[in-house]
Every structure is written in C-alpha cells, then in structure tokens.
A and B are shown apart, each in its own frame.
Chain A
Amino acid sequence: MSEILVLVEHVEGQVKKVTLELLTLARKLGAPSAVWTGAGYSPEAAAKLAEYGAEKIYVADSAEVSDYVVAPKAELLAHLVAEKSPSAVLVAATAEAKEIAGRLAIKIDSGVLTDVVGIEDGLVAAQSIFGGGVNVSSRVTKGTPIIAVRPNSTPVEAAAGAGTEEQVSFTVSEAAKSARIVERVKQEKGARPELTEAAIVVSGGRGVGSADKFSIIEELADSLGAAVGASRAATDAGWYPHQFQVGQTGKTVSPQLYIAAGISGAIQHRAGMQTAKTIVAINKDPEAPIFELADFGVVGDLHEVVPQLTQEVTKRK
C-alpha cells in the first residue's frame, strides 16, 4: 500500500491529539509513516504512534532539527519524500506546520492545501473557507500532495500498526540554520488543553467586563475540561492574552462544543468558531448575532448565568 507521511506534533515528547487524528485519516489513504522531529522521542511515544496505525516511524530526534525556525523540518521532509516516494504528506494545520508545508512544497515542487477538514478518495480535500461560509473541495495537481489538516476535524480511532522504527540519517544544511531559536518562553496557564485541539472551548468577550472577571470563564472551562478562548474585544482590552484570541486575526477552532459568553458574534469572531459542532451562547443582548448561530442561547447576564452553569456542571459530574 502506498506510504503516507505524517509529521508528528509533540510537546516535549508528548504526542498531540492532532497527530492521532492525522494517523486515523492517513490509514484510509494508505500506510501511515510517522515522522518524528526533535528531542523527546521515547518508547511510550512510539507505542502511541503504533497504536493509532503508524506502520513505520522515521526518527530524526536530534535537537538540531528543532533549534532553528521551520527550515530544518521542511528539509527533513523533503529528504524523506525523495527517499520514500510517499503518495502524500500530512501535517497539522498549525501555524508552524503550515509553514513547514509551504517550504516543503517549494523544495519538492508540489502543491499544498491548508486548513483541510477532510480527505476523500483520490486525495480530494475538503476545505471550509470564508469563515465557514463556503465549502470547497480541491486537489493538488502537481507533485506529491502536501495537506495540512485542521485539528479536531477527524474523530480519533485506534488501529494498531507495526510501528517499525527507522533512524533517519540526515544532516541539517547550513542554509537551514539561519534563524536560530535562542530561548523558548512558556506562558501557558495551568493544565488546560490547547485551544485549537480542545474538544470544548469556553470563550469570553466584551461582556466579561474586566481581566479579573475572566476567572468565571476559566472556572466554567475547568469544570468541563475545556480550553479558554477570548474575543478580540477582550484581548484588545488586555483582559486575556492575545494567543487565546479566537477569530479572523486569531485562532480558528472547531471543537465539539463552543460556549460564547458575552460575545456579540461579529463576523470576525464567527470566522474563527462557526464550524464548531455545537454552539451555546450567553449574552444579555437578545439581538446579538451570536444567537443566530447558537444551538442553545441564554439571554441574560453572564455574571449570573455562567457561575450557575459551572455549579450545575460540577454538581452533575
């Protein structure tokens, strides 16, 4: 069966959920080969990749591959494409992996599709564009298709693969070492799931009113095991860090459940969340456009409704 390369996303050796989604998807298209880059490879990580269908695991775990911005990983994938002739390369549609895909496309003279939400036979990819307003199917017409798949678009399913490990002998070129990462600063708060990966996202907007009051959004999120997001109004006001912004100039999320509290639902916000499966809105303005999207809406003061919801969720668990 034809080989499908899957670029593994991991945080310090912990395989991210999106990689399991990509492996699940790749199994329908061919034989998945996981590509590990950077430090942190372990027997546990290998077992996880095999559990979700990796037939092979290509390991390039020298720190050098991740000490420089993007270019070494693109170079590594180009090397593997030349050596293995896969029928496609799948990466997660994260900011960095899309950049890797872009540079790889030039190196191997192949087309690239980004923010894909599904792949059908013949490697025809489904994309949701204009903030979810238009569904597009597209395909690569030159070279080895490189497809960046949005997190949360494929339900994860385990199905064991052989997981045969192969060390990749590969040296990063000097040209790929031009932008060096000299420090990684971690600002993440607590143990919440990552925004784009989370099955549930609870977001707060202008209606939250202050940075302090974001604690009620966080408490609801924690009761549901959710990530916290924010509208641009909230991040512009400095109430919540910018990297949690959901919307056109921030993150695009596609969770199972999206709870919008105090968010009016301007088009710029909707562009980042309207492909969520289920949407719940809490807003005191009954005319707020967010209610047009909501499967369930509560017209009321979020400062009353959200804490009560948190209490109920906690009670019913």
Chain B
Amino acid sequence: MNIVVCVKQVPDTATERKLRSDDKTLDRDAADGVINELCEYAVEEALRLKEAHGGEVTVLTMGPDKASDTIRKALAMGADKAVHLVDDALHGSDALGTSHALAQALKKISFDLVVLGSESTDARTGVLAAMLAERLGVPQLTFANQVQIDKDAISIQRVTDYGYDRVEASLPAVVSVVEKINEPRYPSFKGIMAAKKKPVEKLGVAEAEIDASQVGLVGSWSEVVDFAAAPPRAAGTVVKDEGDGGVKAADFLASKKFV
C-alpha cells in the first residue's frame, strides 16, 4: 500500500506569531518552525498502517526551504521518503491554492491512501483534507479517531459533536486524523541517523504541473485587507480564597447578570 502523509511546518505556538507588514502573510521567520502537532499523529497512523498492511510511507510537504526540518522529523519517525514542494511562487497560497498544489503532487506520487492531520495550529481552517478529496475525486474520511483497512475497504470513526459516525469507503481515499487516534512515537537515535540518508525529492511548480495562476498570493481567492494586534484584556480582580471564594465568585457573576 502506498501511503502519502501530508505534513506542515507551522510557527511554534509558544512563540509570538505575527503577520508580515509587507504582504500580510504569516511571518515564518519570526517564529521557530515546528511540525504541526496533528501531523505527528498523521505520520504515526501512516506508519502503523504500513506496519499492519505493508507498503511504503511517503512524506509530502509544501513550504519554504526550512520546512525540510519537518520532513526530517517525519522521516526520523520512520517514513521512507519525501517529496518537498518548494517554490517562491507558492508563497502566500490560501487553502484553495495549497490544495491545488498538493493534489497535483499527489497525482504524480501514486497513492492508495493520503493521511493528514485534521487541522493546522496556524491557519486552523480544517478544510484541506476535504478539499483534497474533492480535487482528487476520492472518498473523504476526515476527523478519524480510528482507521481500519481490509484489502480495498476502509472504515473510520468520524468524530462528531454527539459522538462519532462510522464511515465506510473504498481505497484510494483521503483520511484526516484527530489527536486521540494514537500516541506518536519519538524518533529513535537510529531513526534520526537513518533519516539523513532517506531520499527527499524537491519539486517546483513546473515539475509538479501546478497551475501557477492558482497558487501564491496572486492566485489566492481571498485577501487580508488589514490586521492589528488584538487589544490586551483589561486586568481583572483576583482574590484569595479565605473560605468565601465561591461566594465572591458568585457576587461577581451576579454583578455581570449571569445569575
């Protein structure tokens, strides 16, 4: 089974995240780049499926040169090889442009299954997996907290507000995972060393047959008009519980008409 796992490098949430003043895109230089957390679960699930069913795991990422750190992390966890979409023309792509670029790359890489995290911590749109399914014309099995494969049949538990839906489809398919699906492994020292020798293919817009008019800032379907730091919250009142903390909290709620 050919499994492709899409991973994204995102700015570390623990550092200050900013937009650039010049083109209003994410300032990727201002913050440390780390692998998007949910992507680690996607890599783990891809590796487990490979271990159970055989095949190969290919990492696919789109991002600037420094995103190669994120590729190495996924390779160190145990993925076999990687494809890195890297091209200045991709800078500033929105979700539609990104899904176009990734879909084109996926058509080049043969796949039975595409696995993604359900959301990135920077843009948090949560739409990319659905968009890939749409563009590739394959079943959408998203927000999975469990994946089962039996030959060509695949079923997942799709997390919902009320519990979960059991969803069935046939391969090839796109799966996105939520964090409770597994516990991502830490790369071993051996894995880290081996990752350095694993093949990483770099593809530009032309090689991946990406339509340049659909990606980057120029191809974007939306634009940031303006942005500003949110005003800080006004400092509140903090009291020490002297046996009446609950009463005081209730007084506060009453003053705000919540009770």
CB–CB B163/A184 < 8 A: yes
What are the residues of chain A within 8 A of B250 when measuring CB–CB? Answer: 309, 312-313, 316
Chain A, range 95-115, C-beta contacts under 8 Å to B: 95-96, 98-103, 105-107, 110-115
Which of A106, A136, A185, A316 is close to B19, meaning CB atoms less than 8 Å apart?
A136
Given A181-B166, A182-B166, the answer on whether A308 and B245 have CB atoms closer than 8 Å is yes
In the complex, identify which listed stretch (B48-56, B71-79, B84-92, B224-232) lies at the interface while the others stay far away. Answer: B224-232
Q: A275 — nearest CB in chain B belongs to which residue?
A: B230
Q: B37 — nearest CB in chain A belongs to which residue?
A: A249
Chain B, range 238-259, C-beta contacts under 8 Å to A: 238-241, 243-250, 252-254, 256, 258-259
CB–CB B247/A103 < 8 A: no
Is the C-beta of A131 less than 8 angstroms from some C-beta in chain B?
yes
Contact pattern, A 286-317, Cβ under 8 Å of B = 1, otherwise 0: 10000111111111110011111111110011
Number of interface residues of B (CB under 8 A): 89
CB–CB B167/A180 < 8 A: yes
Which of B14, B221, B252 is close to A280, meaning CB atoms less than 8 Å apart?
B252
Is the C-beta of B65 less than 8 angstroms from some C-beta in chain A?
no
Given A105-B131, A183-B166, A249-B38, the answer on whether A291 and B238 have CB atoms closer than 8 Å is yes
Is the C-beta of B143 less than 8 angstroms from some C-beta in chain A?
yes
CB–CB B140/A112 < 8 A: no
Secondary structure dominating the interface of A:
mixed
Number of interface residues of A (CB under 8 A): 97
Contact pattern, B 98-135, Cβ under 8 Å of A = 1, otherwise 0: 01000000000000000000110111111111110111
Chain B, range 141-160, C-beta contacts under 8 Å to A: 141-143, 145, 155, 157-160
A-B contact count (CB 8 A): 287
CB–CB B249/A309 < 8 A: yes
What are the residues of chain B within 8 A of A306 when measuring CB–CB? Answer: 246
The answer for the CA separation of A63 and B4 in the assembled complex, in Å, is 33
Given A69-B140, A114-B126, A299-B241, the answer on whether A304 and B163 have CB atoms closer than 8 Å is no
CB–CB A138/B252 < 8 A: no
Is the C-beta of A175 less than 8 angstroms from some C-beta in chain B?
yes
Please give the residue numbers on chain B whose beta carbons come within 8 Å of chain A beta carbons, in ascending order.
Answer: 13-14, 16-19, 37-38, 94-96, 99, 118-119, 121-131, 133-135, 137-143, 145, 155, 157-170, 173, 178-180, 220-230, 233-241, 243-250, 252-254, 256, 258-259
